[in-house]
Amino acid sequence: MIRYPRHLTFELTAKCNFRCPYCYCVWHEFPALGRPELDVGGWLRILDKCAADGVKDILFTGGETLLRKDLVEIVDAARTRLPDATFSLFTNASRLTASLIDSFKERRVSLATSLQGLRTYGEMTGTRRKFNRLLSVLATASEHEWPMAVSMTITKANCDEAADMFVAAALSGASRIQMGAMMAEGRGREHLDLMLTREEWERVKASIRELPDAHVPYSFCEEFICACRTQPEDFLRKWSDPHHKPCPAGRDFGVVGPNGKFRACLHTVEEIT
């Protein structure tokens, strides 16, 4: 049986109440990887193995984590088994409330979310929602002294407002910002027309670097395609990273999918036993 690496991501559910066109979750291409969804007992067994293997940090993600009614039970079980581990939780924040923020703060679980757009928020989430609520959740988290990290996926639709998105997240209290171009993975493979070229991505990065210093740490993610997956020739031609270094996926970090099976990373599709 595989020994878990020190850094793990738990994909707690494949369900989501958003339909982001760029969502890279693997089950959009390979539905079997998202089911059957493990029940709480299954996650407790995974957590026992985490304790035995010396896992040091866990990112809880999905799908949308807050759709799981037993989320707090799983987090508490994780804390009991791994008292010194670092935990973080990714959510689209649609169901995140002030009292939930306090409860995650009490449990030492850092929070992260996405800002998908401003004018384009509805289009980029596949919903009729507006961005205002997300910014208000960021401000609440900051007021409760548990500020959230924010990630942004840049596409052809929202690239013109990327700098405004950055400023909005920073002014609303984001603790840090990660920005990346949409990847040709998951549901993104049905929306390749939204992919940026490398030149467009460089222009987005330049527009962020030109902003006045907002005193919020930020980073860029350079992956357009997963280098660990076998990729079509035209994808490699258009989107491979010229500076790609060998990837430590599966050794330094890994993913436990909604069905409890281990994969090397969020984008790889082989299950490892």
Tokens at 4, concatenated: 């878990």
Nearer to ligand SF4, 82 or 91 (CB): 91
Task: State the DSSP string of 104-169.
Answer: HHHTTEEEEEE---STTHHHHHTSS--THHHHHHHHHHHHTT-PPEEEEEE-TTTGGGHHHHHHHH
Q: How far is the CB of 57 from ligand SF4 (least distance, A)?
A: 20
Smallest separation, CB 81 to ligand SF4 (Å): 26
Q: Which long-range contacts (CB under 8 A, 24 or more apart) does 136-141 make?
A: 136/172, 137/93, 137/96, 137/101, 137/113, 138/93, 138/113, 138/169, 138/172, 138/173, 138/174, 139/172, 139/173, 140/98, 140/101, 141/101, 141/111, 141/173
Q: To the nearest whole angstrom, how small is the minimum distance from the Cβ of residue 16 to ligand SF4?
A: 3
> Should residue 101 be labelled a site residue for ligand SF4 when binding is judged by CB under 6 A?
no
Q: Counting contacts by CB under 6 A, is residue 16 touching ligand SF4? A: yes
154 touches ligand SF4 by CB under 6 A: no
Stretch that binds ligand SF4, among 58-66, 73-81, 159-167, 191-199 (CB under 6 A): 58-66
* 47: contact with ligand SF4 by CB under 6 A: no
Q: Give the chain's length.
A: 273
Our finding on whether 111 is near ligand SF4 (CB under 6 A) is no
Query: Which residues, at least 6 apart from 80, have a Cβ–Cβ distance to it below 8 Å?
Result: none
Indicate which single residue of 20, 75, 174, 194 sits in contact with ligand SF4 (rule: CB under 6 A): 20
**Which positions from 68 through 97 interact with ligand SF4, judged by CB under 6 A?**
92
The single residue among 4, 5, 8, 64 that binds ligand SF4, judged by CB under 6 A, is 64
For ligand SF4, the binding residues (CB under 6 A) are 16, 18-20, 23, 25, 62-64, 92
